[in-house]
Amino acid sequence: MTAFSDIFTQAYWWLSLLGGLHCLALSIYARFVYQDSHSQRRLLAGIFALMALYFFTGLFNSDNTPAPIHLLFLLLLPMYFLLMPALYQYLKQQLRPTVDARLPLKHLLPSILAMFLVVLLWLFNPSLVTGVALLGYQPSLSWGSLLLPLLLLLQTTLYLVLVLQLMKRHFHASAQLDNRLQQLRSNWLLVLTLALILTWLVRNIAVLLTLFLGDQFSAVAQAIPRLALLLTLYLLAIYGLNQLTRAAYLRGRESRAQAASVPKQPLDKEELDFLNEILHEKKDK
């Protein structure tokens, strides 16, 4: 059992490292290489940077962190409240390019509220910053340990509903347009957004199960969401390549159709000049 536990720990460590490096590379690519508007590149880079942060937290333990592990996770938790607003704003700006890329204040309120709650927990639970935490102190199941994960789960569910409503309005408005390329792009955005939101929803549910079921479920609950998120990124990459191939085929077919529809002159310029010369000679005679 100890050998299996060691193998699982090593696999979880490598999974966290691999996922974090992948998301970090995607963030750098989206910020500096990806061909899109400056504001959209910043949003996409921020989304992947938050996902990289989530993966890299799997590398932390009580032996390699300068601060108590519970304090570190508690301080990082408010940043996770920015992921869903950034994803929703990116989708909204892709569908409506005139929308401002900056996150409205109402989308930032959950993160601000989470930071405020962290300060309160810090003040009312001083064991998070004392040597008790360094000795392996496990906080008991209380309103403080449940409140932030519940709020994060509620926020994810809310943005899932908002995304579905936004896509429903978009598909209803574009149903009258016979544009296959636009449909491919809309399908890609829908699959990308829903896949990331549903994976994040699984992550939040797993966190709550860990709080309720205790340490016997902790390792599995931490590994499953990271594995699901990494597999989701790979599947999205495969699906994206498929969509790019179909888009290139449709563009080629449209260009061939446009070229075929242009009427071709029966005679080229040299032949027309020759006929004009003959006509002028006949007139002169």
137-180 pLDDT, tens digit each: 344 545 556 777 888 888 889 988 988 888 888 776 665 555 66
Q: Which residue has the tokens 């797993």?
A: 206
User: Where is pLDDT greater, at 138 or 239?
Assistant: 239
Residue 184 tokens, joined: 């491919």
Q: In the 8-state DSSP scheme, what is residue 265? A: P
Write the CATH number of the domain with boundaries 2-284.
Answer: 1.20.1070
Q: In the 8-state DSSP scheme, what is residue 281? A: H
Does 193 have pLDDT greater than 80? yes
Please give the share of the chain, as a percent, with pLDDT higher than 70.
Answer: 62
Note the pLDDT of residue 132.
34
Nearest Cα neighbor of 88 from 106, 112, 115 is 106
Cα separation, 87 vs 268, in Å, equals 55
Please list, residue by residue across 237-276, b when 16 or more beta carbons sit within 10 angstroms of its beta carbon and e when fewer do. eeeeeeeeeeeeeeeeeeeeeeeeeeeeeeeeeeeeeeee
Please give the share of the chain, as a percent, with pLDDT higher than 90.
Answer: 0
Q: Identify the weakest region by mean pLDDT among 47-56, 71-80, 158-167.
A: 71-80
Mean pLDDT of 182-203: 81
Q: What is the pLDDT of residues 197-209, one digit of tens each?
A: 888 888 888 777 7
- Provide the 10 A C-beta neighbour count for residue 14: 12
Measured between its terminal Cα atoms, the distance across the chain in Å is: 110
Note the pLDDT of residue 166.
86
